Structure 1
Amino acid sequence: MTRLKNFFHQFIIIFLFIGFVLAIRFQPISQTFEFDYDEGFNLIKAFLYSQGFSLYTQIWNDQPPLFTVLLSHWLNIFGHSIFAARLLILIFSALLIHCFYKIISSELGRLPALIATILLFTSWLYIRLSISVMIGLPSLSLAMLSIYFLHLYKQNYRKLYIVFSGIALALSLQTKLFTIVLVPLIFFYLVDFSSKTITSNKYSKKTLINVALWLAPLGLVYISVGVLFQQFWNHEQLIITHLNQPSNSKIENFNNREYLRYMISQDYDYIFLACVGIGTIFLKKHRNGIFPLAWLITSVLVLLNHQPLWYHYYPLLAIPICWLAAYGVAFLSDSFSKKKLVNTKQLIIPSLLVVILIGLVIATPPNPKGSVPRNAELMQLVLKYKDATNWIFTDHPIYAFYAKLRVPPEIAVMSYKRLNSGELTSQEILSVLQNYRPEQIVLSRWTSQLKSDSKFMAYINENYSKTYTNEQGSQEHYILK
């Protein structure tokens, strides 16, 4: 009965978090046309999957399959709306926040955990990513759940938690593979990375059993999901596209140091508090703090060498930064609560740290990222011809999702990464157009690049009538003659 009460208590907390975000961000969740182009890709893939098209063999997909499948079933139950899709992401965010709080709370106390959680929630673009139909946050949420299960195991030594941890991490990797950087860290956490015996080469039989209990479900679930959705037979989509990215120094995202500096500049105040936390970890010998520190160092090293670098990778840094900040909060809290006014000299350093922190909070202005603009006239045209449309060809699939129209699955994802890697050629695009003969064409993102191909434009001019173009010529609509 106690466990059941505890479960419902945690469920209520997660529900309250979701209600809070809905209350303060209901209008953006329900009315924002598109936060990021990735939303359109994820939504149209889920829509096509629900229509019976298979991933990889029919629907081009450069990401693991789990999120697309889950989102598809979710939308089938709650309706194919942007609000329902964003609600699913918010649930994942609530799970991440809850696990984050519970882990820190048991280690450092409620106050440091609460403040660290608030810092994470208010970190750069976290709220935005909590309501954007993108796969990074769900993947990190499942990874955090994996860590939380191991944390529960260290509290009561129930081995079932180790199994759950392996399963959760496998699901995380099958959502987005970027959490693979956490696999060795979580592994060392499992073998008691923070214990005094970690330097010993003599691991007990119990440790080996625990490792097996974690690795077996991790590998089994990961492989099973991949086999079920034919993931491993399409390495060109999953691997080659990501590795075959020609560098382009003219684009901000390819200048890793500059862009990484830009990202962390949004949270200098949090980073300062994290630095205090790092000092506290070594000063007070908080061995548990090595895990978030290792997470931060690993993520920085990976992001410095990964191109292109996208803003939605930032939670990989924000989570360990805020986790380390909790140690800084604990240090400041203990400094003021224990010393009080008995020895004013001992209060000088913590007081100075607080002053610096306040100064950094004031000096770090918010820098929100804008949304993708909606062309209402273009959307109306798509809806106008919807009843006579079986297929719509578009480089901006969010229009197709709102109209509940099918996009040729081969071009469901016409992303910068795919075009830049040469994975999608002009000839392939033309072949799709010729094979499907879509009743509508919407060009909204790669218009100039597509129109630069003479064969592509010759085919359109011969078979389609232009119904709309904006003043800049960047958005166009065609219907089949």
Structure 2
Amino acid sequence: MKILLNMTHLKNIFFHLLILFLYVGFVLAIRPVQQAFEFDYDEGLNLIKALLYSQGFSLYTQIWNDQPPLFTVLLSYWFNIFGYSVFAARVLVILFSALLIWSFYQILGFSLGRIPALVATLFLVTSWLFLRLSISVMIGIPSLSLAMLSIYLITLYKQHRRRRFIILSGAVLAVSLQTKLFTVFLIPLMLFYILNFKLREPEESKSKDSFSTLVFSPLILWLIVLAVSYLGISLIFQAFNYEQLVQAHFGEKVQGQSTTFNNIENLPYFLYQDYDYVLFAFIGSLAILFKKQRAGIFPLIWLVTASLILLKHKPVWYHYYPLLAIPICWLAGYGVALVINLFPNGWNSNLKSLNFKKLIFPVLATALLIVSMIAIPAKPKGRPPKSLEVMNLVLKHKDSTQWIFTDRPIYAFYAGLPVPPEIAVMSDKRLKSGNLTFDEIIIVLKKYRPEQIVLARWIETFKSNSQFNTYIDENYSKTYQDDKGTVEHYLLKKSSS
């Protein structure tokens, strides 16, 4: 009997792994994972940080880094195994996306049944830019996938009441926070989720109250594991740099310069992209409130909290949208469940009890959504290199180059060349807020004497600074400039070597 149970358990594990890898294969088949030069400028920043870290440079002390360390560390080890390529890095993010989708389905399946969970999961996969973000070397999807796994582990604890799930959940959320800190707002939500959104303990639990019971209660245990794991990771990677990790995002200079992306305009635009899912989410929210479905409180509060945070935070980038898409599709699952229950004879949400006729709707819906995923192109499809000539020039002089200075580090990564670690993260936020000044840039140029310079993002900003222009004219020769003046390539003069 025990052997049969173990065999069933193994088959279940292999089945779920098969589903995950089918998802990965499907995404690779329908999206330009290998063809696109660059999906977002952040890809170059994450790739070059991982390259520098793998070459022995340390985060925060040598590599300027305004994000937690774990994705950079993981990506560097991933490169050591699978080679230094953009494709390998994107596959890693797709695996995280698969983990997010799997965890999301498992959580909804527990509370709503398989059909609403399946439809809601397909909603999430086809939500605005989800697949685009799932193939971009960015840290949002990895962080959210770990957060969803942490929530699923709490769900497992509720089913089986085994403390190992609570311990794993706290540790996994700590890893999520050390990937990208924007999942921190989920902590109070998850605490209430552990308590099943009850503010008062049952009477029988009060009679057993003692110091040991309090210390080892699921809530306290989860918090302890979360705190210890987070601090432990911070200690290992020296991730206590307030200026880089906090001030670079929330300082007055940073918030003051973020006027380009208007929150009031952007958030409605984001939501409009998935207006049909928002409608289902609204129906689901009403169902939760009127039917007093306690499990639905979690995504409802998540959506309200994330919306309020994004209304306040500046700037609001498009890659923040999954913070809204996940609870919207989660709530849409409740809307789907409500619609299903409106059928005359009801509709059992467990697939085992369905006959063929009742499978027609979910099969057609699934087919339609898959067709839409294939038919609708990735938005955007990915930026091409601003100039193939520049990429070829960088590669041509690669053997005589020790360092390259560029405001678009994807060029450096494709060539396998390091950039000065102090300016590995040369972001719009860092430049406009004054966190990185031209005095500091000149110091870096004098220190490293990079043999090549590629300007392909903030060329007007650089060219408008007389100090920078003077230094470049004295020490470098321009080898290329495109017709529009949007990309330039320079080589260090032999007399300056």
TM-score by length of 2: 0.88
The residue aligned with 1:292 is: 299
CA 1:202–1:421: 2 relative to 1, 3 Å: farther
The residue aligned with 2:11 is: 5
Within the candidate set 86, 91, 95, 2:90 is matched to: 86
Amino acid at match of 1:173: L
Tell me whether 1:266 sits opposite 2:278 in the alignment.
no
Tell me whether 1:282 sits opposite 2:289 in the alignment.
yes
The residue aligned with 1:319 is: 326
Q: Hey, what's the Cα distance between the residues in 2 that align with 1:435 and 1:148?
A: 49
The residue aligned with 1:66 is: 70
Q: Hey, what's the Cα distance between the residues in 2 that align with 1:247 and 1:34?
A: 29
Within the candidate set 480, 490, 494, 1:468 is matched to: 480
The residue aligned with 1:113 is: 117
CA 1:191–1:436: 2 relative to 1, 3 Å: same
The residue aligned with 1:386 is: 398
User: Does the CA-based 8 Å contact 1:129-1:137 persist in structure 2?
Assistant: yes
User: Does the CA-based 8 Å contact 1:390-1:405 persist in structure 2?
Assistant: yes
- Quote the offset at 1:191 in angstroms: 1.7
Amino acid at match of 1:391: W
The residue aligned with 1:371 is: 382
Tell me whether 1:163 sits opposite 2:184 in the alignment.
no
User: Does the CA-based 8 Å contact 1:246-1:420 persist in structure 2?
Assistant: no
Amino acid at match of 2:286: G
Tell me whether 1:15 sits opposite 2:27 in the alignment.
no
- Quote the offset at 1:186 in angstroms: 0.7
CA 1:154–1:430: 2 relative to 1, 3 Å: same
SS of residue paired to 1:30:
coil
User: Does the CA-based 8 Å contact 2:131-2:378 persist in structure 1?
Assistant: no
SS of residue paired to 1:466:
strand
The residue aligned with 1:411 is: 423
Amino acid at match of 2:23: F
The residue aligned with 1:95 is: 99
After superposition, residues 421-460 of structure 1 pair within 5 angstroms as: 421-460=433-472
Q: Hey, what's the Cα distance between the residues in 1 that align with 2:156 and 2:142?
A: 21
The residue aligned with 2:350 is: none
- Quote the offset at 1:337 in angstroms: 4.8
SS of residue paired to 2:417:
coil
- Quote the offset at 1:339 in angstroms: 6.0
SS of residue paired to 1:29:
coil
Q: Hey, what's the Cα distance between the residues in 2 that align with 1:366 and 1:271?
A: 21
Q: Hey, what's the Cα distance between the residues in 2 that align with 1:167 and 1:160?
A: 11
Q: Hey, what's the Cα distance between the residues in 2 that align with 1:31 and 1:93?
A: 19
TM-superposition CA deviations, 1:5-55 (whole Å, max 9, x none):
332222222111111111222xx1001000000000000000000000000
The residue aligned with 1:40 is: 44
Tell me whether 1:396 sits opposite 2:408 in the alignment.
yes
The residue aligned with 1:344 is: none
User: Does the CA-based 8 Å contact 2:142-2:179 persist in structure 1?
Assistant: yes
Amino acid at match of 1:15: F
TM-superposition CA deviations, 1:323-356 (whole Å, max 9, x none):
000000001011015269xxxxxxxxxxxxxxxx
Q: Hey, what's the Cα distance between the residues in 2 that align with 1:393 and 1:197?
A: 59
Q: Which runs of 4+ in 1 moved over 3 A?
A: 2-5, 195-208, 246-250
After superposition, residues 291-370 of structure 1 pair within 5 angstroms as: 291-338=298-345, 368-369=379-380
User: Does the CA-based 8 Å contact 2:93-2:134 persist in structure 1?
Assistant: yes
Amino acid at match of 1:308: P
Q: Hey, what's the Cα distance between the residues in 2 that align with 1:80 and 1:51?
A: 12
SS of residue paired to 1:442:
strand
Structure 1 unaligned regions, length at least 5: 341-357
Counting aligned pairs with the same residue, the percent is: 60
Amino acid at match of 1:11: L
Amino acid at match of 1:278: S
- Quote the offset at 1:372 in angstroms: 2.5
- Quote the offset at 1:368 in angstroms: 2.3
Within the candidate set 206, 213, 228, 1:220 is matched to: 228
Q: Hey, what's the Cα distance between the residues in 2 that align with 1:18 and 1:366?
A: 17
- Quote the offset at 1:406 in angstroms: 0.6
Q: Hey, what's the Cα distance between the residues in 2 that align with 1:246 and 1:212?
A: 35
User: Does the CA-based 8 Å contact 1:392-1:406 persist in structure 2?
Assistant: yes
- Quote the offset at 1:197 in angstroms: 4.7
CA 1:338–1:207: 2 relative to 1, 3 Å: farther
TM-superposition CA deviations, 1:418-450 (whole Å, max 9, x none):
112211001000110111000000000111111
Q: Hey, what's the Cα distance between the residues in 1 that align with 2:466 and 2:106?
A: 59
Amino acid at match of 2:480: Y
- Quote the offset at 1:373 in angstroms: 2.8
Q: Hey, what's the Cα distance between the residues in 2 that align with 1:257 and 1:14?
A: 37
After superposition, residues 140-151 of structure 1 pair within 5 angstroms as: 140-151=144-155
The residue aligned with 1:354 is: none
Amino acid at match of 1:386: K
SS of residue paired to 2:57:
coil
Tell me whether 1:104 sits opposite 2:113 in the alignment.
no
SS of residue paired to 1:465:
strand
User: Does the CA-based 8 Å contact 1:40-1:397 persist in structure 2?
Assistant: yes
User: Does the CA-based 8 Å contact 2:196-2:294 persist in structure 1?
Assistant: no
CA 1:199–1:379: 2 relative to 1, 3 Å: farther
User: Does the CA-based 8 Å contact 1:169-1:218 persist in structure 2?
Assistant: yes
SS of residue paired to 2:342:
helix
Amino acid at match of 1:452: S
- Quote the offset at 1:187 in angstroms: 1.1
- Quote the offset at 1:190 in angstroms: 1.0
Q: Hey, what's the Cα distance between the residues in 1 that align with 2:250 and 2:33?
A: 34
Greater mean alpha carbon deviation, residues 442-451 or residues 369-378: 369-378
